Amino acid sequence: MSGLAGSCHPGPVVAVTALMTALAVTAGQSAARCVLTAAAVLTGQLSVGWCNDAFDARRDMAAGRRGKPVVDGTVGVTEVWGAACAALALCVPLSLACGLWAGAVHLTGVAAAWAYDLRLKATAWSWVPYAVGFAALPAFVALGLPGQPWPAWWVVTAGALLGVGAHLGDVLPDIRGDLATGVRGWPHRLGPDGTRLLLPVPLVAASAVLALGPAGPPGRWGAAALAVAAVVALAGTLLGRRWERAAFASAVAVAVVDVALLLLRGTGIA
Ligand SMILES: CC(C)=CCC/C(C)=C/CC/C(C)=C/COP(=O)(O)OP(=O)(O)O
């Protein structure tokens, strides 16, 4: 059981599910709908995480990659595939139970993420599933509100930008190891320096869209958050020339600002 838990990419699964549940609450979904939204997002994320480890198992074993349960032998590849398919099978009705449009949008995001796992991860298009998947998540929450309102442009755009930033940040620490095993996604083609320099751009752009996108002035908190994000990103870019970890840490800090802004703007996403 711990092997299965470890191979679902538990960190992102918990973080994305918690964030979307919080967004559902602030956006004004009913308690029952919030539970349904959380369950749909959880099963979608689990299916993508398990599919990723199951599909990569042979390569990870050949590379003797540490920290992967299928490589350590704490879970079998067949079990991980079974879990991925079971989670996906649950995700379909749970998503559609939030409404036809909401379900279709969420399942499009999940399908894009499976395409990442099965094919696009090792291509120049590796950023596309992240953009589509992360844009779909707030759209799913908005369309799950009473009356199925269309999401605001700025929340979908910010989601896509956060997704691109998440992709660059996820790959940055692994670029050199991945290149040794033949994976050549978009960040690998940019190289470690190119990825490090580009990383803050979509994240600060997301801050700007979240602060300035909604109608009316950004307010004191919005303006302060945007200023903090810009300063932290600049510091990360300068310090990152010497310490790559500083670039990564500053990107995480800007992403935290983005999440706070997203929740602050939660009531107006539709
Ligand atoms: C709506 C929705 C489902 C959105 C998610 C979007 C998306 C593309 C997620 C991918 C998550 C994932 C398993 C990354 C692992 O990447 P990796 O294989 O580079 O990392 P690893 O080698 O460390 O496992």
Q: Is ligand 1 within 6 A of the CB of residue 131? A: no
Q: What is the DSSP track for 183-239?
A: ---HHHHHHHHHHHHHTHHHHHHHHHHHHHSSSS--HHHHHHHHHHHHHHHHHHHHH
Tens digit of each residue's pLDDT (9 = 90 or more) over 74-119: 999 999 999 999 999 999 999 999 999 999 999 999 999 999 999 9
* Cα 45 to Cα 54: distance, rounded to the nearest angstrom: 14
Q: Is residue 15's pLDDT more than 90?
A: yes
What's this model's pTM, rounded to 2 decimal places? 0.95
Helix and strand totals (H; E) in the chain: 13, 0
Pocket test for ligand 1, best of 55, 170, 179 (most atoms within 8 A of CB): 170
- How far does residue 95's CA lie from ligand 1's centre (Å)? 19
Residue whose structure tokens are 């600049």: 234
Angle at Cα 135 formed by Cα 198 and Cα 16, nearest 5°?
85
Residue whose structure tokens are 């079990």: 79
- How far does residue 49's CA lie from ligand 1's centre (Å)? 6
Q: Is ligand 1 within 6 A of the CB of residue 52? A: yes
Q: Looking at residues 208-224, what average pLDDT do you find? A: 90
Tens digit of each residue's pLDDT (9 = 90 or more) over 93-102: 999 999 999 9
Cα separation values, 268 from 101, 150, 156, 225, 253, Å:
19, 11, 12, 18, 24
Q: Is ligand 1 within 6 A of the CB of residue 155? A: no
Q: Is ligand 1 within 6 A of the CB of residue 133? A: yes
When mean pLDDT is compared across 49-53, 167-171, 242-246, 261-265, the lowest value belongs to 242-246
Q: Is residue 179's pLDDT more than 90?
A: no
Q: Is residue 218's pLDDT more than 90?
A: no
- How far does residue 119's CA lie from ligand 1's centre (Å)? 12
ipTM above 0.95, yes or no: yes
* Residue 60 CA, closest ligand 1 atom number: 22
> CB-based contacts of 33: which residues, under 8 Å, 6+ apart?
24, 98, 144
